[in-house]
């Protein structure tokens, strides 16, 4: 078989990520590559840092981008904050809370799991009970917006409970950053990480992250070295820090960072609160359209992520067949359920550049057309 240049098909991405990318971001990524220590690139890095501080709603100096996807943001947070033998309260209500638990274990930490049913928010009362039962704990982890289920937990309340028990919090905001209210400083969140490919609508492969002063002090007082060289923030910040001279740490993904920079410029131009409202309004449009064709949501209304909609698959409908037809006939991608939700829900993303009324109507119409096959 002759191998030639790859030309991907045009898709409408309405799954759990990646999301559709604006032509502005794609154009930015095509600009000339320069060195990762070039003064102009350093200037752009400083702007990315400032734009991320706006997106996270923080003044944290240790705000930067991990040169790897959101799961590496998770690992960066955990390997820096958790030492062997540490008791860590891990809230689990889906795949990514479970992934946090696995990472804590790999760091030698002792996880105490606070569970909620898949599709539900973490219950503050359960976290309170776990902290009372384990006064030795010093770190609490939870997922703000659980991508596997579409459930949104109350980050402000969970963080306040953790702090009352002298614990720091690690928050997964991979799906929430840029799509729904997230206020790092106001809610006193200690470590928060995200991903570039969700509501920021930048290319996959980058993980924005921020540490407040309490978290930095915690890291500086570790008794053991950080388990990962590449993800040790003490080393990474010698490259991303504010000093005029930057120390080489790794070769940054230069053109991907151009794309993230442009996506963050677009977020700033729109206004963060306007972006949150747009995601909310398009969720309500989708809710109306899907309920009109007989589909039901999996997550209770008060606990839903507007930008990631978990929809129950009707009885007698073949999950894989529907998604295949949507892709082949309508160029439309929606997401399958993960773990115990496989075959039970679809995950429909309305994230970033793809969160618009046109996509809402197109998705609902395409689903209605395909589902008629199973209802006739």
pLDDT category at 81 given cuts 50, 70, 90 is very high
Q: What is the enclosing helix (H) or strand (E) of 193?
A: strand 191-193
What b/e readout covers 8-17, taking b as 16+ CB neighbours within 10 angstroms?
eeeebbbbbb
pLDDT category at 243 given cuts 50, 70, 90 is low
Check residue 246 and give its pLDDT.
Answer: 86
Distance CA 100, CA 128 (A): 19
Check residue 375 and give its pLDDT.
Answer: 76
Tokens of 326: 């949507």
Q: Give the number of other CB atoms < 10 A from CB of residue 227.
A: 17
Distance CA 216, CA 294 (A): 50
CA-nearest of 2, 120, 26, 5 to 353 is 26
CA-nearest of 343, 280, 337, 312 to 94 is 337
State yes or no: pLDDT of 313 exceeds 80: yes
Share of the chain above pLDDT 70, in %: 99
pLDDT digit string (tens) for 21-41? 999 999 999 999 999 999 999
Distance CA 122, CA 143 (A): 9
pLDDT category at 244 given cuts 50, 70, 90 is low
Distance CA 238, CA 25 (A): 28
State yes or no: pLDDT of 260 exceeds 80: yes
Mean pLDDT to the nearest integer, 195-216: 98
CATH number for the domain running over 12-17+272-375: 3.90.1150.10
Distance CA 212, CA 188 (A): 9
State yes or no: pLDDT of 186 exceeds 90: yes
Question: Domain residues of the chain, as ranges?
Answer: 12-17+272-375, 23-268
Check residue 242 and give its pLDDT.
Answer: 64
State yes or no: pLDDT of 357 exceeds 90: yes
**Domain 23-268 CATH assignment equals 3.40.640.10:** yes
Instruction: Look up the pTM and report it.
Output: 0.97
pLDDT digit string (tens) for 321-355? 999 999 999 999 999 999 999 999 999 999 999 99
Name the residue with tokens 């795949």. Answer: 95
For the packed helices 319-330 and 357-375, what is the interaxial angle rounded to 10 degrees? Answer: 130
- In angstroms, the Cα distances linking 212 to 38, 152, 177, 188, 288 are 28, 23, 17, 9, 40
Using CB atoms within 10 Å of the CB of residue 356, give its burial: 0 to 12 exposed, 13 to 18 middle, 19+ buried: middle
Q: Are 56 and 83 in contact (CB under 8 A)?
A: no
């Amino acid at each position: 078989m002759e191998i030639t240049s790859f030309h991907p098909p045009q898709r409408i991405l309405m799954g759990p990520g990646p999301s559709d990318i604006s032509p502005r971001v794609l154009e930015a990524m095509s600009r000339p590559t320069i060195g990762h220590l070039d003064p102009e690139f350093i200037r752009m890095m400083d702007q990315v840092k400032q734009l991320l501080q706006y997106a996270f709603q923080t003044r944290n100096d240790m705000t930067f981008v991990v040169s790897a996807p959101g799961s590496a943001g998770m690992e960066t947070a955990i390997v820096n904050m958790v030492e062997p033998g540490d008791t860590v309260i891990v809230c689990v209500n889906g795949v990514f809370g479970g992934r946090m638990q696995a990472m804590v274990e790999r760091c030698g930490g002792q996880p105490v799991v606070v569970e909620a049913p898949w599709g539900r928010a973490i219950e503050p009362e359960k976290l309170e009970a776990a902290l009372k039962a384990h006064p030795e704990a010093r770190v609490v982890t939870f997922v703000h917006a659980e991508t596997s289920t579409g459930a949104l937990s109350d980050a402000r309340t969970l963080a306040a409970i953790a702090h009352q028990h002298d614990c720091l919090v690690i928050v997964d905001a991979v799906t929430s950053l840029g799509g729904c209210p997230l206020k790092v400083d106001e809610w006193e969140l200690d470590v928060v990480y995200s991903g570039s490919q969700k509501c920021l609508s930048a290319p996959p492969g980058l993980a924005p992250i921020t540490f407040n002063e309490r978290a930095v002090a915690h890291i500086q007082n570790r008794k053991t070295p950080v388990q990962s060289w590449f993800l040790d923030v003490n080393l990474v910040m010698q490259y991303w820090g504010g000093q005029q001279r930057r120390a080489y740490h790794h070769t940054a993904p230069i053109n991907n960072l151009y794309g993230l920079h442009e996506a963050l410029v677009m977020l700033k131009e729109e206004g963060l609160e306007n972006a949150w409202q747009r995601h909310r309004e398009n969720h309500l449009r989708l809710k109306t359209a899907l309920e009109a064709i007989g589909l039901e949501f999996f997550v209770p209304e008060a606990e839903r992520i507007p930008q990631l909609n978990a929809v129950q698959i009707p009885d007698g409908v073949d999950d894989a067949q529907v998604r295949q037809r949507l892709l082949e006939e309508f160029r439309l991608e929606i997401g399958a359920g993960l773990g115990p939700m496989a075959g039970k829900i679809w995950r429909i993303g309305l994230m970033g550049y793809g969160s618009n009324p046109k996509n809402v109507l197109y998705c609902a119409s395409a689903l209605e057309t395909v589902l008629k096959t199973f209802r006739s």
